[in-house]
Structure 1
Amino acid sequence: MGIAAAKWIAQPVYVLAKLNVADRLAEGEASTAQLAEQLGVRSDPLRRCLRAAASAGVFREAQPDHWALTDMAACLRTDAAMSLRDFTVLMGEEPMWTSFGSIMQALRQEGPVFDKVHGHSMYAHLAQDDELARTYQGAWAPLTQGVMRALSAEYDLSGFDTIVDLGGGDGTALRTLLAEHPGLNGVLMDLPHVREAHRNADDEVGARLRTVAGRLPDDVPAGADAYLLKNTLHCLPSPLVRQTLKRVREEMTRPEQRLLIVEAVLGASDGFDWSKLMDIEVMVNNGGREHTLEEWRALLTETGFRLVSAREVLHPQWLLEAQAV
């Protein structure tokens, strides 16, 4: 019942995240009436949402009708080191929620459900909705920072001068790598509206980061020592994954060049695995998929690469290192 009725807890937590209730409670507990007045909402529905969230350990009723943070609720603070506020809001926003309400279409017709429900792709929707686009980038940024720091600890980038991040979004992944490696230069390639925020970056890291407009699979900047594809390929349908890998292969003419793929890798057991849930997300909203390690190996071989190494860097994310052959 808890699985089937997950919306009963997910959506109350969503509205509490969107209202930034965790930020309001950061300095101490508050009553429902105080919160409602500050947030401009009705007390009774707010109380009921807080009560539902508290039943799952998100917030707690410190005294009758007075609320306080828990460790889980603290993750919803906007200033948390690994904030899940934007992630929680993204999962509950109407465009993302509506596509999941029509998940049966994924079983009946090929292609992303999001496109069928909204009449355009998720990325086209983000290009038209600035607030949702900011939430989308904010949802993944804290998790991306953690993965990139773990990658830096696991993989030696010192031999590279320039790394290109293909479909690098708001630049969080690339900026994290450049901050960890002062001798590294970076090129961020993504759609014009995504890369705009980095055009005028004037800090030390920004001085080593260049942005170019482009779209996969066609636009792959030449001359990099390493090409990074972080959680990009799983958002693409299989034919486009192959086209992208082949296009990157065309630019890799030196044996020392490397392709670095950061993606979840599906486990073989039937136990709980985040990658299996992410697989449903990209199936519904992007028409993409997650892969097993053997599927990645086969894809790379088919598109002109050899898998050099594969390691989990931060569950469920792996680093796949490939060389052109």
Structure 2
Amino acid sequence: MRHDHSSQRPLLQLRNRKDIHDSSWALALAPRLAQFEAVARHEHVTRAAYELGMPQPTLSRAIVRLEEELGVALFARHGRTLSLSPAGRAFLGSVERALTDIERAAESVRADADPAAGKVAFGFLHTLGSETVPGLIRTFRADHPQVRFQLIQGFGEAMLDRLRAGDLDLCLTSPVPDAPELVARRLDEQKLRLVVPDDHALATRKRIRLAEAADELFVTLEEGFGLRRITDALCAEAGFTPKVAFEGEEAETLRGLVAAGLGVALLPPPPVPRPGVVELTVTAPRAVREIGVAWLDGHVDTPPVAAFKKFLLSRRGQLLH
């Protein structure tokens, strides 16, 4: 087929303009890829149009427009039949791979949204990973045995960032966030204890006011962790700024360092009692951390995400028991 190259110049000029994003070119081509593939496979416009459920003249015009936008002839015309040109054969391989990728992506998102066997991307704090989260998932899967979980463990701010980025559907976090782009619901609270070495002068006590630990060295989580912010806030309420000997990423690591005599720490109860430390009840100020579930405001839940969210909200007051 002979092309009028003068008709291509405005398109080529438009394509080369600096104020046109690269993605605009791909978006213009995308609707025509399946049409091109069908014509290439059938080598006949009428049969391809029948398969695609569109009028033959419309498909013919779409193929001509595609060739004009690319600036090459994709087909050689032989009456009512066509054969791929060398450029068309080169283009077809990439188009087939692109369509296969799109089909796989569509199958993946359909599978993730399946009510019975879909996926939930769920984030949670390190300190909830040993017992709380496995217990929640085990109970939920008793009624939804095929639902799949993508689990991501991290500290509070990292979880919230991943919510905002769309990487997570839901997350358990502490403190309960108050941000305009997020929705959060309080589920439970967890008492914090002052953990001291078992040979410490305070180890004979059962209860303590936090102000009595003002002169102690503290081992804490790093800044950015929710428990670190709570620790700093409680110490400030008790009238002092903690002297930090070590900053870590895992509560149980801190508990081990307390046992080694490096300092004291404000921590939630351990999954199992740990030798070498004594855990004191803090009587003042009230030392607790709230645990909540958060999600992105406006996030459209798939059926499995909606079911798991409903399950979590039904556990208010029972999350840690």
TM (norm. structure 2) is 0.28
Higher relative contact order (CA 8 A, sep 6+): 2
Higher strand share: 2
TM (norm. structure 1) is 0.28
